Amino acid sequence: MLSRTHLKTITCAVALALASLALTACIQQEEEVNVGFYAYFAPVSHSADEDPNSDGFDTHLGYESDLLSAIEAMDGAGLSFSRKPIALWDDIWLSPVKPEFDMVGGGITILESRTKNDDGETVVDFTSGHIAFRQSLLARAEDADRLSSYDALTSEDRVGALAGTTGEHRLLEIVGYVDGDGVLASGVQIETPGGALTADGSDAYVITSSFQTDNMEGRRSLTPPRDDMPRVIYLGDVEGENELLDALRAGDIDAVARGEIGNRDAVAESSDALAVAALDDKVELGGFAIAVEDTDLLASIDSKINYLTDNRSIGYAEWLADPDVFMKRAKEWER
């Protein structure tokens, strides 16, 4: 017969073995998610250093970075994020269909058209919207009153845009460059690497926030057919929206068409040398893109985003006031 001491020893050994197995199971269950993030959309998503050759380029900062870090900190979430910067915006939302990334973010507006590839197949899905976007015009402070409305823009004005963004597309819609299907108005002149083109009002000339006809590739500018429309200048091939801001400060363009969040951040950094002028009435949501077949990851991320944002009651404004707001919510999470 075993003594009580021996029984205690065996019981403790079994308990320790079970605990070890449980710990091993937890470690094995933790999933590493490869995340691509847009490197040039401060303060929503950006690299610590803008230089792609620097060590800081791989460090993710901003609103979305803090949201992901809070998910990692949630007890039992079982997720860790390996993050890699993406310098080019073009079709960034389709990156999860490639082996390199499981999920992609960077202030990406959720659009049905962005879930499809060039063949019209649905290849990605979006998580719950975690941030609200509204488009706007950023101008030098002395021009803000004059450009307080999109209607005030004329052919004398040069508006900078990043191709393939909602900032570009909403500008083109509002001022009349494109119709609801993204078809360019007849008479619009397009400067491209292959030479100048003139739109004829047909679907041979299309620009949307998720699609463009091949002849629009690498567009450099749009010249309007009417005096009540601005000229559109395309920059950002190398350093994203930072090129637009540099051109605005230098006087090479008169306004930048992009989201209100980024524009207001630029105003704060400019010591009020810049100002948000016209504001779009339309509000859209931003989320992370995930391959459509990865339903388990989508459901897992969704549940945690919905908790951390309190079903969209907590967003960018609350984070700006308290950058720890998501981490505080994470510590209160109960599985």
Percent of the chain whose predicted confidence (pLDDT) is above 70: 91
Q: What is the pLDDT of residues 30-83, one digit of tens each?
A: 789 999 999 999 999 999 999 999 999 999 999 999 999 999 999 999 999 999
The stretch 290-315 carries a mean pLDDT of 96
Supply the pLDDT for residue 118.
87
pLDDT at 86 > cutoff 80: yes
127 close to 302: Cβ distance less than 8 angstroms: yes
Using alpha carbons only, give the angle 154, 261, 210 rounded to the nearest 5 degrees: 70
The stretch 265-276 carries a mean pLDDT of 94
Question: What is the pTM for the complete model shown?
Answer: 0.80
pLDDT at 310 > cutoff 50: yes
Cα separation values, 334 from 13, 72, 114, 304, Å: 30, 14, 34, 11
SS (H, E, C) 82-148: EEEEECCCCCHHHHHHCCCCCEEEEEEECCHHHHECCCCCECEEECCCCEEEEEEEEEEHHHCCCCC
Q: Which helix (H) or strand (E) holds 305?
A: helix 295-308
Supply the pLDDT for residue 320.
93
Supply the pLDDT for residue 10.
41
Domains and CATH numbers, the chain: 31-132+285-331 (3.40.190.10), 134-283 (3.40.190.10)
254 close to 183: Cβ distance less than 8 angstroms: no
Banded pLDDT at 29 (limits 50, 70, 90) = low
Banded pLDDT at 238 (limits 50, 70, 90) = confident
DSSP one-letter string for 2-53: --HHHHHHHHHHHHHHHHHHHHHHHHHHPEEEEEEEETEETTTEEESSS-TT
Using alpha carbons only, give the angle 119, 120, 126 rounded to the nearest 5 degrees: 125
pLDDT at 153 > cutoff 60: yes
45-47, strands of its sheet edge to edge? 40-41, 45-47, 60-61
Rg from Cα positions in the chain: 24
Q: CA 34, CA 101: separation in Å to the nearest integer?
A: 5
Residue 255 identity: A
pLDDT at 224 > cutoff 60: yes
276 close to 179: Cβ distance less than 8 angstroms: no
Would you put residue 193 in left (φ > 0), alpha (ψ -120 to 50) or beta? alpha
41 close to 90: Cβ distance less than 8 angstroms: no
Cα separation values, 152 from 105, 143, 244, 255, Å: 34, 11, 20, 12
Q: Which helix (H) or strand (E) holds 320?
A: helix 316-321
Supply the pLDDT for residue 253.
98
Q: CA 188, CA 197: separation in Å to the nearest integer?
A: 8
**Secondary structure of residue 197 in the 3-state scheme:** strand
pLDDT at 157 > cutoff 50: yes
Q: What is the pLDDT of residues 163-222, one digit of tens each?
A: 999 999 999 999 999 999 999 999 999 999 999 999 999 999 999 999 999 999 999 999
